[in-house]
């Protein structure tokens, strides 16, 4: 399977099947859940596992030469350099509380060239779906998105909202210092949201431009987000300003390049 249209159709199929499974478990009491070994607050549920397994089964059948990088199970090597990168429920802490601020992340990347090809955020409860395709405008429920902040040359970091999923994701002294410095500069600081922060940035929903600052990340946490953010004129890199790759752990996303430059300048001034 090499045709881009077919690959997009497959990505949507993965979103559909995982979404149906997740809906069955959402707001159901006493579903099977556990904390991952070696983690303080990383929860995995039966919904995570079943949704991921269903997606893997479809990929093995319809794109057997593609590899799979997954959150819950063993990775599968690629025969053509292409990998599907799966996070069945990004925001499981919200899912288990019955709050629909989570999403399924489905990325397709050529790992040999580090080119993210397709990215999907699927929110099955709210019936919201973002699709990013390399070099094309991002779609939200099949309509092109317009990020009103993308070309705002007057964007100021002092007027932006700084968002991170949790303050506990900043582990090293330098990460904590950078987060604290940006919290002092930005007009607002907010926590929570997981992938929804990036969806809101892409959609231009917020009343002010957004800066997302996160660390302690895994590839499946952000691979799908790259074409979605870039497809609306946003910027997403690591904290050094470099292109993200499968070894990156620090992620910076901004509503436009002007905010990104200001944020990078603050980061570079922290020793």
Dihedral angle sign, alpha carbons of residues 40, 41, 42, 43: positive
Q: Report the pLDDT value the prediction gives residue 7, as an integer from 0 to 100.
A: 97
Q: Is 71 annotated as a binding residue?
A: yes
Say whether both 14 and 57 belong to one domain: yes
Of 86, 110, 144, the residue at which a domain comes to its end is 144
Q: Does 135 share its domain with 237?
A: no
Residue 223 sits in a domain of what CATH number? Answer: 3.40.190.80
Residue 203 lies in a domain: yes
Region 3-13 average pLDDT: 95
The whole domain housing 236 covers 157-268
> Do residues 121 and 187 both lie within one domain?
no
Among candidates 113, 61, 121, 112, which has minimal Cα distance to 86?
A: 121
Backbone angles phi, psi at 222, to 5 degrees: -140, -10
E strands present in the chain: 33-35, 43-45, 67-70, 82-90, 103-110, 115-123, 128-133, 139-140, 143-144, 161-164, 188-191, 210-214, 235-237, 251-254
Same domain as 234, residue 186: yes
Asked whether residue 138 falls in the same domain as residue 256, the answer is no
Whether residue 74 sits in one domain with residue 107? yes
Same domain, 195 and 74: no
221 is in an annotated binding site: yes
Report whether 48 belongs to an annotated binding site: no
Alpha-carbon distance of 145 to 232, in angstroms, equals 7
Of 60, 141, 114, the residue nearest 227 (C-alpha):
114
Task: Give Cα 46 to chain centroid, integer Å.
Answer: 21
One domain for residues 101 and 225: no
Predicted model pTM: 0.95
Does 133 lie in the same domain as 74?
A: yes
Confirm or deny that 87 is annotated as ligand binding.
yes
Q: Is 171 annotated as a binding residue?
A: no
Same domain, 170 and 137: no
Q: Which of 105, 123, 144 is the last residue of a domain?
A: 144
pLDDT tens readout for residues 53-109:
999 999 999 999 999 999 888 999 999 999 999 999 999 999 999 999 999 999 999
Whether residues 168 and 50 share a domain: the answer is no
Quote the number of domains for the chain. Answer: 2
Give the integer Cα–Cα distance in Å for 221 and 201: 16
pLDDT of residue 11 exceeding 50: yes
Is 75 within 8 Å of 219 (Cβ atoms)?
Answer: no
In a domain, 172, yes or no: yes
pLDDT score at 40:
45
Q: Are residues 9 and 136 in the same domain?
A: yes
């Amino acid at each position: 399977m090499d045709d881009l249209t077919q690959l997009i159709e497959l990505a949507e199929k993965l979103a559909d099947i995982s979404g149906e499974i997740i809906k069955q478990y959402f707001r159901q009491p006493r579903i099977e859940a556990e904390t991952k070994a070696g983690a303080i607050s990383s929860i995995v549920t039966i919904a995570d596992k079943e949704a991921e397994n269903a997606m893997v089964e479809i990929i093995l059948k319809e794109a057997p030469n593609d590899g799979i990088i997954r959150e819950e199970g063993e990775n599968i090597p690629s025969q053509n350099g292409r990998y599907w990168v799966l996070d069945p429920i990004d925001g499981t802490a919200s899912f288990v509380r019955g709050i629909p601020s989570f999403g399924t992340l489905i990325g397709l990347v050529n790992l040999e060239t580090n080119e993210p090809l397709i990215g999907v955020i699927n929110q099955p409860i709210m019936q919201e779906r973002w699709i990013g395709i390399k070099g094309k405008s991002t779609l939200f429920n099949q309509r092109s998105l317009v990020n009103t902040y993308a070309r705002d040359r007057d964007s100021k970091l002092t007027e932006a909202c700084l968002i991170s999923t949790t303050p506990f994701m900043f582990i090293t002294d330098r990460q904590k210092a950078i987060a604290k410095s940006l919290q002092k500069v930005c007009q607002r600081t907010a926590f929570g949201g997981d992938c929804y922060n990036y969806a809101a940035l892409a959609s231009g929903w917020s009343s002010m431009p957004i800066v997302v600052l996160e660390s302690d990340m895994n590839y499946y946490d952000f691979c799908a987000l790259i074409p979605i953010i870039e497809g609306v004129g946003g910027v997403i890199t690591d904290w050094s300003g470099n292109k993200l790759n499968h070894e990156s752990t620090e992620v910076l996303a901004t509503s436009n390049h002007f905010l990104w430059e200001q944020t990078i300048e603050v980061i570079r001034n922290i020793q």
